[in-house]
Amino acid sequence: MPWESSGWNNDRNVRMLLDRMVERGEIAPVGYEGRDKLWDPAERVYPDEPVVPLAEAMHTRGVRRLRSLGIARGRAAAAPNEPNDVGEVGEPAVIEGVRGTWRVDPAYPDVELAPRVALLSPLDRLVFDRKRMAEIFEFDYQLEMYKPAAKRRWGYWAMPILDGDRLVGKVDATADRKGDLFVVNAVHEDEPFGRERRAAVDAELDSPAEWLDLHRVDRSVGSSGR
């Protein structure tokens, strides 16, 4: 039967069949040959280890997810891909001004952090769970690459700006490889930036430009930018 959907995977029968076989543990991806993905029988890829009991596997996954997130809901609404909750791992916690109980990694409350400014990917785990992001950080954001250009508020791949423990804005930047340019279209400030924060964001913008070996150019900004 053909694979039918309203999205990109419609009628991609072989690709979806291979994805299901990976999920069933029958095959495993092993690399690429050019742009073609390669698979092999799973028994030739995965180590020959005893199967972990489901309860133990779920607990381990919860511990690792909580370690990555720092704090998360014990129970959350079902998500289409990776779940956003962690079960009963960690310790119970409350966030001032936010309803309900959370779970916190017991290692984090005693950790001394060195705050800094960073640009995040829209897929970063800090902002991937939009509900958690809004509850904890009161940050208004969503990935807009699937929206028509005229309906975007912040940009095709706007990067959230993290300053210490606060999300304070977004950067709309584009890599123009043909023009050898890293174009900063706008820096959207959710609140007015001071001189120190503005300088830190400027320094962070130099980093991806240098990594991509592109010349940075600052262009027009939006009404909430600079």
131 vs 129: CA distance, rounded Å? 6
Shared domain for 105 and 120, answered yes or no, is: no
The residues, ordered by sequence, that sit 6+ positions from 159 with a Cβ below 8 Å of its Cβ are 119, 120, 121, 122, 170, 171, 173
Tell me, yes or no, whether 79 and 31 share the same domain: yes
Residues 101 and 194 in one domain: no
* Residue 52 structural domain: 25-112
pLDDT tens across the length of the chain (226 residues): 888 888 778 888 988 899 999 999 999 999 999 989 999 999 999 988 888 999 999 999 999 999 989 999 999 888 777 788 899 999 999 999 999 999 999 988 888 888 899 999 999 989 989 899 999 999 999 999 989 999 999 999 999 999 998 999 999 999 999 999 999 999 999 999 999 999 999 999 999 999 999 999 998 554 444 4
Say whether both 83 and 127 belong to one domain. Answer: no
Integer Cα distance of 63 and 57 in angstroms: 10
pLDDT, residue 186, reads 94
- DSSP structure class, residue 10: T
In a domain, 125, yes or no: yes
Q: Residue 88 falls within a domain, yes or no?
A: yes
In a domain, 15, yes or no: no
Q: Answer for the pair 188, 159: CB distance below 8 angstroms, yes or no.
A: no
Q: Do 64 and 137 share a domain, yes or no?
A: no
Q: Is there a domain that residue 1 lies in? A: no
Q: Is residue 51 part of a domain?
A: yes
CATH code of the domain containing 129: 3.40.630
Give the residue from 112, 141, 169 where a domain finishes: 112
Same domain, residue pair 132 and 88: no
Q: Do 120 and 106 share a structural domain?
A: no
What is the number of domains present in the chain?
2
The angle subtended at Cα 32 by Cα 28 and Cα 37, nearest 5°, is 60
Phi, psi for residue 176 in degrees, rounded to 5: -100, 90
Q: Where are the alpha helices (DSSP H) in the chain?
A: 13-23, 54-69, 125-128, 130-137, 195-211
- Determine the pLDDT at residue 76: 86
- Structure tokens given for 173: 């930047």
Looking at 77, 94, 112, the residue that finishes a domain is: 112
Domain assignment present for residue 14? The answer is: no
184 shares its domain with 220: yes
Task: Let me know if residue 9 belongs to a domain.
Answer: no
Do 121 and 149 sit in the same domain of this protein? yes
User: Which domain-ending residue is among 64, 88, 112?
Assistant: 112
Which two tokens mark 61? Answer: 């996954």
Q: In what side-by-side order are the strands of the sheet with 102-104? A: 71-73, 102-104, 91-93
52 and 129 share one domain: no
The answer to whether residues 93 and 159 belong to one domain is no
- pTM of the predicted model as reported, rounded to 2 decimal places: 0.78
Q: Tell me, yes or no, whether 210 lies in a domain.
A: yes
Q: What is the spatial distance between Cα 104 and Cα 73, in angstroms, rounded to a whole number?
A: 9
- Please check whether residues 94 and 147 belong to one and the same domain: no
